A = this chain, B = another copy of it.
Amino acid sequence: MRTESALTAGPGDFFVAQPRQVLLDAAKVCGHFGPPTNPRGKYMSLKRRQFITTAGIGALGAAIASPAIAQSAPEIKWRLASSFPKSLDTLFGGAELFARTVAEATDNKFQIQVFGPGEIAPAFGVVDAVQSGQIEMFQTAFYYFWGKDPTFCFGTAVPFGLNARQSNAFMYQGGGIDLFNDFLKAYNIIAYPGGNTGTQMGGWFRKEINTVADLNGLKMRTAGFAGAVLSKMGVVPTSVPGADIYPSLEKGTIDAAEWVGPYDDIKLGFNKVAPYYYYPGWWEGSAMLHLGINLDKFNALPKNYQAILKSAAAYANGDVMARYDALNPAALKQLITSGTKLRAFPQPVMEASYKAAQETYAEINAKNPTFKKIYDAYMAFRDDEYLWWQVAEYNYDNFMIRRPK
A residues sitting closer than 8 Å to B (CB atoms) are 2-8, 10-12, 14-15, 17-19, 21-22, 25, 40, 43-44, 47-48, 51, 55, 58-66, 68-79, 101, 104-107, 109, 113, 133, 136, 160, 163-166, 168-174, 198-202, 261-262, 279-282, 285, 297, 300-304, 306-308, 310-312, 314-315, 317-319, 321-323, 325-330, 332-333, 342, 344, 350-351, 354-355, 381-382, 384-401, 403-404
Q: Which residues of B contact A387 (CB under 8 A)?
A: 329, 332-333
- Cβ–Cβ < 8 Å partners of A62 in chain B: 59-62, 64-65
Across the interface, do B71 and A107 meet the contact criterion of CB distance under 8 Å?
yes
C-alpha gap A391/B14 in the complex (Å): 57
Contact of B394 with A398 in the complex, beta carbons under 8 Å: yes
User: Nearest chain-B residue to A72 (Cβ)?
Assistant: B107
Q: How far is the CA of A303 from the CA of B391 in the complex (A)?
A: 43
Pairs across A and B, CB under 8 Å, 13 listed: A59-B62, A72-B107, A107-B302, A163-B400, A169-B321, A173-B322, A262-B388, A314-B314, A329-B384, A329-B388, A342-B391, A386-B397, A389-B400
Given contacts A59-B60, A65-B65, A315-B311, contact A8 B165 (CB under 8 A): no
Q: How far is the CA of A61 from the CA of B48 in the complex (A)?
A: 14
A interface SS class: helix
Q: Is the CB of A393 within 8 A of B11?
A: no
Residues A325 and B385 in contact, CB atoms below 8 Å apart:
yes
Q: Are A351 and B384 in contact (CB under 8 A)?
A: no
**Residues of chain B within 8 A of A308, CB atoms compared:** 105, 308, 311
- Tell me the complex Cα distance, A19–B51, Å: 12
Q: Which of B63, B300, B326, B350 contacts A7 (CB 8 A)?
A: B300
Residues of chain B within 8 A of A43, CB atoms compared: 11
B328 and A388 form a contact (CB under 8 A): yes
Known A163-B396, A173-B323; further 17 A-B contacts with Cβ < 8 A: A10-B40, A11-B44, A15-B51, A25-B107, A58-B58, A59-B61, A61-B62, A65-B68, A101-B311, A199-B393, A202-B392, A262-B388, A280-B393, A308-B308, A314-B314, A329-B384, A351-B403
- For the complex, give the distance between the alpha carbons of A105 and B301 in Å: 12
Q: How far is the CA of A172 from the CA of B199 in the complex (A)?
A: 19
**Contact A391–B69 (Cβ < 8 Å):** no
Q: Specify the chain B residue showing the minimal Cβ separation from A77.
A: B3
Is B168 a contact partner of A15 (Cβ separation < 8 A)? no
Do A107 and B304 have beta carbons less than 8 Å apart?
yes
Q: Which residue of chain B has the shortest Cβ distance to A12 in the bound complex?
A: B47
A64 to B47, CA, bound (A): 20
Contact residues in B for A333 (Cβ distance below 8 Å):
387
A399 touches B280 (CB 8 A): yes
Report whether A304 and B7 are in contact in the complex, using a CB–CB cutoff of 8 Å: no
A17-B75, A62-B60 known; A329+B385 contact, CB < 8 A: yes
Q: Which of B60, B170, B394 contacts A397 (CB 8 A)?
A: B394
Q: Are A401 and B394 in contact (CB under 8 A)?
A: yes
Q: Which residues of B contact A319 (CB under 8 A)?
A: 172-173, 314
Q: How far is the CA of A399 from the CA of B313 in the complex (A)?
A: 31
Minimum distance in angstroms from A316 CB to a CB of chain B: 9
* B15 and A47 contacting across the interface, CB-CB below 8 Å: yes
Q: How far is the CB of A87 from chain B (nearest CB, A)?
A: 18
Given contacts A325-B169, A387-B333, contact A66 B394 (CB under 8 A): no
